[in-house]
Amino acid sequence: MIRKIGLSLITLMLFTGCTVADFAPVTSIQEVRNSEACDVNPLTSDDVERFFKLATEVSTGFYHAQSVILPCYWEGQMESSDQQLFWQINASGAGIIQSEDGSVDKRFLCKAGSECCASFPAFCE
């Protein structure tokens, strides 16, 4: 089942952890918040960084076709050496990183059988 993320959610997302060609490395994860629908332990800054290092970056079309969006998610802000970034990780293992000006717009999935699923098994059940 495919669910689309509302535009308001898309604008509230960020990035973490690794160097990607079109933005500088993240220098700090400033906050991690979880949605009210989450009754599980919140992710730590280290979890966020690890997720984006291990998850597979995918195209927007593939992301929308393959991701399942659940009401439980974590989100926050990160800072790179040249800009503020917004991120969101859904409990289904779908993640988004964006900049406020739209110059960064990345989508990630934690795919079955991957190191990401080994590190975050609940995302791949």
pLDDT for position 42: 75
Whole-Å CA distances, 67 to 43, 45, 89, 92: 20, 23, 11, 8
What's residue 95's pLDDT?
Answer: 93
- Looking at residue 4, its pLDDT comes to 29
Q: Where are the alpha helices (DSSP H) in the chain?
A: 7-10, 45-54, 60-66, 115-119
What range does the domain containing 99 cover? 7-113
Q: pLDDT at position 34, please?
A: 66
Tokens (6 digits) for 53: 């290092």
Give a yes or no: residue 1 inside a domain. Answer: no
* pLDDT of res. 98: 92
Question: Does 81 map to a domain?
Answer: yes
Q: Is residue 121 part of a domain?
A: no
pLDDT at 23: 45
Q: Is residue 50 in some structural domain? A: yes
pLDDT score, position 69: 79
Query: Is 33 a domain residue?
Result: yes
- For the chain, 125 residues long, give each residue's pLDDT as a single digit of tens: 222 222 222 222 333 333 333 444 555 666 666 667 676 667 888 888 899 999 999 998 998 888 887 888 888 888 877 788 899 999 889 999 999 888 889 999 998 889 999 999 888 87
The answer as to whether 18 is a domain residue is: yes
pTM for the structure as a whole: 0.73
> What's the confidence (pLDDT) of residue 59?
93
